[in-house]
Structure 1
Amino acid sequence: MPFTDLQRRPAAAMLFVIASIPSSVLFAQTATPTPTPTSGTVASTPPATAATTVPQPVPMNRGVVVLDPAHGGVDSGSRISDTLVEKDVTLAFAFKLRSLLTSRGFTVVMTRDSDAAFEANSPSTPLSLDDRAGIANHQRPVACLLLHATSAGSGVHLYTSDIAPTAGEPALQPWLTAQAAWVGESGKLERQIATALDRSRVVLASGNAAVRPVDSLTCPAVVVELAPSGDDPATITDTSYQQKVSEAIAGAMVFWQHQAQAPVRILPVPPPAAPAASAAATESNP
């Protein structure tokens, strides 16, 4: 379906992404020995220094790519033609991409690999947008490609989140703006894919928007929306056309695998420790 028709993120977020931080690196403090009091002197304790933290790079699995074929099951997506719906196009597109990425050494995780879009442990529960984001975030992939299809326009449309970027990934962050730390890398990934598509002479359009589940992803993330190669909507299923697009994207991922840079995790800095009580010793009067 047209990307602008995707569900937009709510104004307020109640869920959070919590990074797993070893307690051994959360707080690091250097102990300062306290001088031993002597007769006739006053022993002073040096002021406690604030605990320091060591920034930790966010984990990234450079050999893993997540593909999210949009829609599935009762959710057909947009209607491409009288006999074709979006969910079927995105799944076929994902299979081609998975084959090419696997042959290049990537491990590919798909949020769905059949017409259905249900939770693995609950065949009656539809896979939500948050579920799709959760699958991707669990993998910590080098890239997440969200696959859509539309009969509008032609070629390939690329989109990234328009969330304002942050300098790093906080340990506790709102679920609906988790992409903020990755916006810069997502933009670089989009340009890498765009360059590859341009070299393959694929018509290209790009932009950004505030949508889900892109905004909840903690990885470089790009929406890849496939449109017909020409005026005829049926060309969207042309095997040679989909193959050309898939090969360009797979080739771009090989270069991206070594270029991607994970943001630094922002660790909380605890307040300074309370100063220890000073001990004083005085001589006795004769």
Structure 2
Amino acid sequence: MKRVNIAEFGGPEVLQLIDAEEPHAGPGRIRIAVRAAGVNPVDWRIREGQKLGAHPTTLPTGIGLDAAGVVDEIGDGVEGVAIGDHVFGEGLSTYAEYAVLTAWARMPAGLSFEEAAGYPSVTETALRVIAQTGVQPGHTLLVSGASGGVGSAVLQIARERGITVIGIAGAANQDYLRSLGALATTYGEGWVERVRSLGRVDGALDLSGSGVIRELVELTGDPGKVISIADLGAPDLGVRFSGVAGSVPDALAEAVDLISRGKLHIPVEKAYALADAASAHIDSQAGHTRGRRVIVI
């Protein structure tokens, strides 16, 4: 089978499309014929060799965590899923024609494989970081990097829970943030004052690593109310870096419920061929994403 592989850490050029042995589903796992794989910032952080405690990496290795596809192999002890089912979830080395999933759920009706591949990690992350800020219905949550995949999920999940969201993103994404129910503003000179003019901030999320941790602490008045998933230097300022996933099966179940009720939709901004994984990483790393990027097999 074809798989994207890295034999050394480095830039996008280290991503190589190789012929690899097919993986097989061990106990408690399933294998899918991958139809689409999600592209996440953690993918290029792993490719660069960043020290991420939740994702220790031994080279050579495949890459990719999220995927959607068709079940074609079921490991011992797995129940509730059948060969031929359309599922989405998290696994290992998902930039490939076949991948083993460690957590999965049946795809909601009407969802394409490309769309489904964009939900697993971002929904889990969004649910986790909202909880970690401690915001409650009636509170206001500030989100830096609000237009990407995680931000898109945060805005919609928070709205569903009765939490007001102030989203910060580039000028081109202001209408997009408003379409998701957020109060929107841009970066640049005076952004802290613009946020203050929109209301009190009870919690804040740094989703893009834009060097705004000090300002988020200033706006909340408490580093304990700020969570980052993108700035590895956040702990130096007393801010929690959230990099360890919670229950992925629970997150997938909640995603299915929200999607099925029309409360969560994350658009696919761009799809790439498996051979173009390097381009997907370049674009992901450049930021300014509206929704998700996926690789289509």
| TM class, shorter-length | under 0.3
TM-score, scaled relative to structure 1:
0.26
Larger Rg computed on CA atoms: 1
TM-score, scaled relative to structure 2:
0.25
Larger RCO (alpha carbons 8 Å, 6+ apart): 1
